[in-house]
Amino acid sequence: MEYKISARAASLTPSLTLAIDAKAKALKAEGQDVVGFGAGEPDFDTPQHIKDAAAAALAAGFTKYTPSSGTPELRQAVADKFKRDNGLDYKPSQIIINCGGKHSCFNVIFATCQDGDEVIIPAPYWLSYPEMAKLAGAKPVILPTTDKTEFKLTPEQLRAAITPKTRLLVFNSPSNPTGSVYTPEEARAIGDICIEKGVLIMSDEIYEHLLYDGVKHQSMASFSSAHYEHTIIVHGLAKAWSMTGWRLGFLAAPQPIAKAIDAVQSHSTSNPTSFAQKGGVAALNGPQDHLKTWMTEFDKRRKYAWERLNKIPGISCVNPKGAFYLFPNISGTGMKSTDFCAKLLEQEKVAAVPGIAFGADDYIRLSYATSLANIEKGLDRIEKFCISLKG
Ligand SMILES: *Cc1c(COP(=O)(O)O)cnc(C)c1O
């Protein structure tokens, strides 16, 4: 039997991060001492009060369908979050609860883009964005940036890339994979151009609370009423509440877009898991002090790893101001990212993600969502590896 795969599905590139992770896990299962820098999730447990709320909901029989866009209670909690953290006014009807932030992104792109549209995606990008554009029939237009601009898109670069077909800009600050954070002035200037040209912005703000060195995040929707009208914020509980496995994301959109996304979701996933949503309410409405403890720990690791990386021959790394990733430039080793990561795993048993997965082949991504002891061991090995390349 010959199976016909749809052109859209066949056009997708499978996730390289998941492939690296699988290879590292397989080596570990063989008993090898692998240091993993591949993690895209915090290494901390979900706070207890959140787990308790979901467990209580499960015990109480809260196990049936909810409205497809989420429970009124959670939509209100999300609206309250946007008011509290970002000074933004959203009605609960403008909020949709999704099955993870990834699903939020997918729904936004699927509901706003179609065949022939162009979606502008600055690189290095979170690897799912271009594939989502392709699934919607749209064309990803990749705008490369480098460490020289701290991986930030310039207004001139954006202006030159916009065509009559441009429908959406994907904006992600703080960024996965680079950890870069746009200043409010820089973000506003990017938004201004989109407003002038009638381009929508999908602003992925899932790392908004993961910031270092006193830098500030300001939501793209908050600069003016025009920014609000052009922006769809995507967000989720995975990172700042360490709830990756719960599959809970959310978005805030102008009313007509929220309505369209509601229709898409009602015919695809329906509601996110009922009792997980109760955990989501506890996460958003409950105490937030866990994050301070986590950020202190992340910051220690970030400083240590960043300093060490810059002392390794062939490697240079900009200081990331957000998220939990470092994105060192490896071009000084004379290798490209896939080769570098494959040999690093083979020779030194260190798993890192090649930058090519994020559209940047001169870099690798290292996640510091792992213990300081692991980071130390892993960096010792990367150092040894790079010195061996010189020798
Ligand atoms: C982790 C992440 C998300 C959302 O992940 P989910 O697990 O689907 O909630 C969205 N955007 C970026 C940039 C991320 O790194």
Opening angle at CA 326, ends 288 and 133, nearest 5:
85
384 CA distance to ligand 1 centroid (A)? 33
40 CA distance to ligand 1 centroid (A)? 8
| Residues 367, 236: Cα–Cα separation, whole Å | 19
- CATH (residue range 7-46+290-389): 3.90.1150.10
Mean pLDDT of 230-254: 98
Q: Answer yes or no: is the C-beta of 353 below 6 A from any ligand 1 atom.
A: no
| pTM of the predicted structure, to 2 decimals | 0.97
Predicted confidence band of residue 111 (pLDDT cuts 50, 70, 90): very high
Mean pLDDT of 50-56: 98
> Partners of 234 in the beta sheet?
204, 251
Q: Answer yes or no: is the C-beta of 272 below 6 A from any ligand 1 atom.
A: no
387 CA distance to ligand 1 centroid (A)? 35
Query: Which ligand 1 atom lies nearest to the CA of residue 99?
Result: 8
Q: Answer yes or no: is the C-beta of 244 below 6 A from any ligand 1 atom.
A: yes
CATH of 65-285, one of 3.40.190.10, 3.40.640.10, 3.30.360.10, 2.60.40.420: 3.40.640.10
Q: What is the mean pLDDT of the chain?
A: 96
| Residues 235, 252: Cα–Cα separation, whole Å | 9
Within the chain, where are the H helices?
Answer: 7-10, 16-29, 48-59, 72-86, 101-112, 128-135, 155-161, 184-197, 225-230, 255-266, 274-285, 290-309, 337-348, 372-390
Closest C-alpha residue for ligand 1 atom 13: 176
Q: Answer yes or no: is the C-beta of 324 below 6 A from any ligand 1 atom.
A: no
Q: Answer yes or no: is the C-beta of 206 below 6 A from any ligand 1 atom.
A: yes
Buried b (16+ CB within 10 A) or exposed e, 29-51: eeeeebbbbbbbebbeebbeebe
Q: Answer yes or no: is the C-beta of 101 below 6 A from any ligand 1 atom.
A: yes
239 CA distance to ligand 1 centroid (A)? 8
| Residues 337, 355: Cα–Cα separation, whole Å | 6
64 CA distance to ligand 1 centroid (A)? 26
| Residues 122, 171: Cα–Cα separation, whole Å | 8
Among 293, 291, 332, smallest CA distance to 310 is for: 332
Question: By CB neighbour count within 10 A (0-12 exposed, 13-18 middle, 19+ buried), where does 319 fall?
Answer: middle
Query: How does DSSP assign 154-165, residue by residue?
Result: -HHHHHHH--TT
Q: What confidence tens digit (pLDDT) does each residue in 171-195 have? A: 999 999 999 999 999 999 999 999 9
Domains of the chain: which residue ranges?
7-46+290-389, 65-285
The tokens of 203 are what?
A: 């602003």
Q: Answer yes or no: is the C-beta of 174 below 6 A from any ligand 1 atom.
A: no
Q: What is the percentage of the chain residues whose pLDDT exceeds 70?
A: 100
State which of 98, 103, 126, 365 you would mutate to test the pocket of ligand 1, scoring each by most atoms of that ligand within 8 A of its C-beta: 126
Q: Answer yes or no: is the C-beta of 361 below 6 A from any ligand 1 atom.
A: no
Q: What confidence tens digit (pLDDT) does each residue in 336-365 have? A: 999 999 999 999 999 999 999 999 999 999
